[in-house]
Copies of this chain bind each other. A is one copy, B any other.
């Protein structure tokens, strides 16, 4: 089947570009002498994790325990769950998963480490733990240096836990205004982590892993002395956000959403069949949740080329907006009657690939405009 025959809306990936992105990051890690542990939340697809492992990744990172369970069942045996595993039912599942695969988890509180340690000890096992360090994103995690040392000393006391490293998501880099600031923010996060690890070591705590993770930061932090592991995710696909940050070029955009024009009710708008349930919420996020002046607004992103014809031509004067409805997408332009007719198919490049992928049941792999493979997005809906 050819690309244009695929029914819509459909998530499609260019297999050539995907493979190139995967190999390029693996080669960087190898040359920088760091381990690569890709974050799977961007694709939630075991087939793509396997491609990453074949290219040289040492393991994977998952966003949630349930995502880890899906990946383990698909044959992946080295998994970092970069999220707090809280509550007896989840800890029980964690310990079972740890019997089937090499698992490491994140902790950032005494309560949580106590809970996991007690259950692990009762079953006579030790769980590998990375200390969650907050390098500026202000979600979970302890602050670097002093606070990290204090919590690390608590972890080290727990018989069911084996503190083997520190980790962060240097998400702060997404707030960079330009490439220089991106470099600065990523380097600072890496230094915070290396210094924290050294402080822990100087206090008798063995720290093997100093792990950082983000796509924009990966190739910067990977070169900082003392960093042992990078964990980028979005790089497999890339998206408008990465393009806006200068992290990828137009030829590195592997993912898009195939959609059909279903109505052209006026010359200044056409309506396609991809709304917020297919294209994702992130067109919205660009206006509302990034700090003002930091990331481009939707109109600016559109200027970079959000809408593409099936021939690869970027329609820079067309603004796509998924916020007009769950089932309806807006194509805004001055000359819609010329540009679009009912039945036309176009591609939408995601603003944020992760936000689009998890809405879909499958991803259609395309090579030379022919459908080569359809992969189930098996970890879709796995949020627990």
Does chain B have a CB within 8 A of A58? no
| Distance between Cα atoms of A87 and B260 in the complex (Å) | 8
Which residues of chain A in 272-318 are interfacial with respect to chain B, using CB atoms and an 8 Å cutoff?
Answer: 273-274, 276-278, 280-282, 284-285, 287-289
Nearest chain B CB to A356 CB, angstrom units: 11
Would B271 and A139 count as touching, CB distance under 8 A? yes
| Distance between Cα atoms of A260 and B91 in the complex (Å) | 13
Chain B residues positioned under 8 Å from A171 (CB to CB): 325
Copies of this chain per assembly: 2
Proximity string of chain A (87-124) to chain B, C-beta cutoff 8 Å, 1 when within and 0 when not: 10110000000000000000011011001000000000
Would B383 and A359 count as touching, CB distance under 8 A? yes
Does chain B have a CB within 8 A of A355? yes
Would B360 and A381 count as touching, CB distance under 8 A? yes
Which residues of chain A in 357-376 are interfacial with respect to chain B, using CB atoms and an 8 Å cutoff?
Answer: 358-361
| Distance between Cα atoms of A285 and B280 in the complex (Å) | 12
Chain B residues positioned under 8 Å from A63 (CB to CB): 326-327
Chain B residues positioned under 8 Å from A19 (CB to CB): none
Does chain B have a CB within 8 A of A231? no
Partner of A328, one of B139, B288, B324, B358: B139
Q: Given A111-B341, A262-B84, A343-B86, verify A140-B285 contact (CB < 8 Å).
A: no
Does chain B have a CB within 8 A of A47? no
Does chain B have a CB within 8 A of A227? no
Would A262 and B342 count as touching, CB distance under 8 A? no
Quick one: closest B residue to A108, CB to CB? B263
Nearest chain B CB to A23 CB, angstrom units: 26
Would A277 and B383 count as touching, CB distance under 8 A? yes
Nearest chain B CB to A84 CB, angstrom units: 4
Binds B, one of A2-10, A189-197, A218-226, A240-248: A2-10
Partner of A284, one of B273, B284, B328: B284
In the complex, which of the residues A140, A261, A383 has the most CB atoms of chain B within 10 Å of its own CB atom?
A383
Quick one: closest B residue to A169, CB to CB? B325
Nearest chain B CB to A330 CB, angstrom units: 8
Would B8 and A384 count as touching, CB distance under 8 A? yes
Q: Could you list some 8 contacts between A and B, CB below 8 A? A: A84-B273, A111-B342, A139-B324, A140-B263, A141-B265, A277-B383, A289-B323, A361-B381
